[in-house]
Amino acid sequence: MAVAGRATIDGLLRRAAAIRPHNPALRDASNRPLIIGGPVINLSWGELDGIVDAAAGRLRALGLPVDSVVATQFALSSEAVIALLAIARAGLVAAPVPLGWGRRETVQHLQRLGARAILTTGRAGPVECADLMRHAAAECFSVRAVLSIGGPALDGVMALDDVLDAASEAEHFEIERTDNPADHVVLVTADATAAGHVAVPRSHNELIAGGLAAFVASAPDEGSVIAATLAPDTFAGLALQVVPWLMSGGQFVAHPPLALRALIDDVAESATSHLVLPAAASESLDRADPESLGSLRHVTLLARRGQEAAAAVASGGDTARDVFLAAGEAGLVRIAGPDGALPLGAESSGQSVTLIETRIGAEGALMMRGAMVPLNAFPPGAENGLPPYWSTDAEGFRDTGIPATVGLTPKTILLAGDATGIVAVGGRRFAESDLHAAYAEAGGEIAPVVRADPLLGQRVAGVIGDGRAIVGLSQRLAETGVTPLGVPGGTRQSGPLPFEDTRPKDTSPGRDALADTQAVLEQLLSVAKAAARR
């Protein structure tokens, strides 16, 4: 179901660069050197277009067939945007790997996709991306090359840093296709189901459809400054941030994993007009000094759970805001009511194309279809193998697995809980069965319990019976990749994981260290006196 004709995301870049080549286009936030390393990058539209041409040419020089999969791993940064656009311009498919994934989880995903190359960076906070991905590539027969922008010199990793200085010398690069280029898959993200992760493919048209929903809501223009904070490894992160920016021709400010104080300071300094945040940060934003947000016109909030959406809507604020719910990787829906309700039925961009349509399925779960919802599994033919794989019903609806009920107001849907069998911690989603398996392999003395958390969404609690089992669990989770980073900017635990002890608290009075010492001295003194009498 086409939404933008023959337009591609790299074509949107080409158009903006032709219209306003000297206007500011892409910039890193000022705290980038502390979190990612390297200098702050600041590019105009013409410079960005040239760099993307140069990077696309280097990718094609590897001899990769058109529509080959290139895995990526970046925090939100200028390099992350350049990598996505260069892969698209080279006629390849970008497959972002979440920063929270471990080596085994990454290897399984790359093998499932048949990735031909990997493009990454040096580090993202505590995650050594280039080092992790080169070791993962060693276990994937299909991977031919590992490339890095902004990373250290590592064995087996090819540096592409020179493309950042090649904007003026780069040759105009285009891929000729006999059919509609916008119908080709440009992005493959990973979604969690109760049976494990599945690959979710999206064409240019489907990605642009998701971005069109956000563009219509926030209405940025060529004078807009869009401060983005969402990770670039999900459909929602790209559709709410990158696509509206490409459509508007304004400036994109890439903030690495969220540091709210640095973000608010940058909003004032850079005259930010549009801000994209996770819904959990809405209350902190409302507490900020209004004078520091004077230039802000619109805030887009991303929620992944019904409770987050309702809280974000209720938090209010003087600045215009829209809250979008991401139902996994299926699609984006704009919240319609103050109670966090979703619109029931079709929602369009004012054109004839339906961007997203919702309904409640026979099993009582939220279902979606529309121009942004993919229909086919990936890789092609995966539906003929063993599950899990991406699938829709005969009418094109995707069952999200999220319990839903009819809303209190007409033509609305209320979410009644979380997707069954899936754990979501800090935006990281994985099958609950994987969590239980990791616990069991680490030592069966720990019983995992998934609980709601106001900031992380959910957290894992357990009864601690043996300290050695906790150490084993920490090691096991690190190996499997189930260990989440928690919140953006969080750090991977290097030692035992901090679990909540759910045993009854000991209410007996604590021992007095001074009294204990005095008792020991008195005992030693009495022994000495007895020895002296002998």
Report angle CA 328, 331, 334 to the nearest 5 degrees: 110
b/e map 480-503, b = 16+ CB within 10 Å: bbbbbbbbbbbeebeebeebeeee
Average pLDDT over residues 494-498: 37
Neighbours of 519 (CB within 10 A): 11
pLDDT beyond 70 at 99: yes
Amino acid at 498: P
Q: What is the mean pLDDT of the chain?
A: 83
pLDDT beyond 80 at 520: no
Query: Helices 45-60 and 9-19, interaxial angle, to 10°?
Result: 140
The domains spanning 9-167+181-406 and 421-509 adopt the same CATH topology: no
Report angle CA 424, 430, 436 to the nearest 5 degrees: 100
pLDDT beyond 60 at 503: no
Q: Could you state, in order of their start, the residue ranges of all structural domains in the chain?
A: 9-167+181-406, 421-509
The pLDDT, as a whole number, for residue 513 is 52
On whether the 421-509 domain is CATH 3.30.70, my answer is: no
The pLDDT, as a whole number, for residue 445 is 58
Binned at pLDDT 50, 70 and 90, residue 518 comes out as: low
Neighbours of 413 (CB within 10 A): 25
Q: Which residue has 């699938």 as its token pair?
A: 391
Spatial distance between the Cα atoms of 422 and 279, rounded to a whole number of angstroms:
20
The pLDDT, as a whole number, for residue 22 is 96
Binned at pLDDT 50, 70 and 90, residue 437 comes out as: confident
Query: Helices 78-89 and 45-60, interaxial angle, to 10°?
Result: 60
E-assigned strands of 231-344? 251-254, 274-278, 298-303, 320-326, 332-334, 342-343
Average pLDDT over residues 57-84: 94
Residue 19's SS3 state is helix
Residues in the chain: 534
The pLDDT, as a whole number, for residue 295 is 85
pLDDT beyond 80 at 314: no
E-assigned strands of 349-421? 354-360, 365-369, 398-406, 412-415
Residue 526 neighbours by CB under 8 Å, 6+ apart: none
The pLDDT, as a whole number, for residue 148 is 93
pLDDT beyond 60 at 244: yes
The pLDDT, as a whole number, for residue 293 is 80
pLDDT beyond 80 at 507: no
Model pTM score:
0.85
Residue pair 147/157 in contact by the 8 Å Cβ criterion? yes
Residue 376's SS3 state is coil
Amino acid at 11: G
The pLDDT, as a whole number, for residue 512 is 54
Spatial distance between the Cα atoms of 483 and 463, rounded to a whole number of angstroms:
18
What is the CATH architecture of 9-167+181-406?
Answer: 3-Layer(aba) Sandwich (3.40)
Spatial distance between the Cα atoms of 371 and 332, rounded to a whole number of angstroms:
11
Strand 117-120 and strand 145-148: the pairing is parallel
Average pLDDT over residues 399-404: 92
Radius of gyration in angstroms for the set of CA atoms belonging to the chain, rounded to a whole number: 26
Structure tokens at 14: 């080409």
Residue 82 neighbours by CB under 8 Å, 6+ apart: 26, 48, 51, 52, 55, 149, 163, 164
Indicate the helix (H) or strand (E) that contains 23: none
Residue 324 neighbours by CB under 8 Å, 6+ apart: 213, 214, 217, 236, 240, 300, 301, 302, 303, 332, 333, 334, 335
pLDDT in tens, 207-233: 999 999 999 999 999 999 999 999 999
CA distances from 66 to 71, 93, 186 (A): 15, 9, 11
Spatial distance between the Cα atoms of 8 and 22, rounded to a whole number of angstroms:
22
19-28, 419-428, 436-445: which has the minimum mean pLDDT?
A: 436-445
Amino acid at 254: A
Residue 92's SS3 state is coil
Structure tokens at 491: 């750090």
Peptide bond into 201 cis (omega under 30): no
Task: Report the Cα–Cα distance between both ends of the chain, in Å, rounded.
Answer: 102
Average pLDDT over residues 194-212: 94
Neighbours of 421 (CB within 10 A): 13
Q: Phi/psi of residue 119, each to 5°?
A: -125, 120
Spatial distance between the Cα atoms of 67 and 354, rounded to a whole number of angstroms:
27
Instruction: Determine the number of helices (DSSP H) and then strands (DSSP E) in the chain.
Output: 15, 25
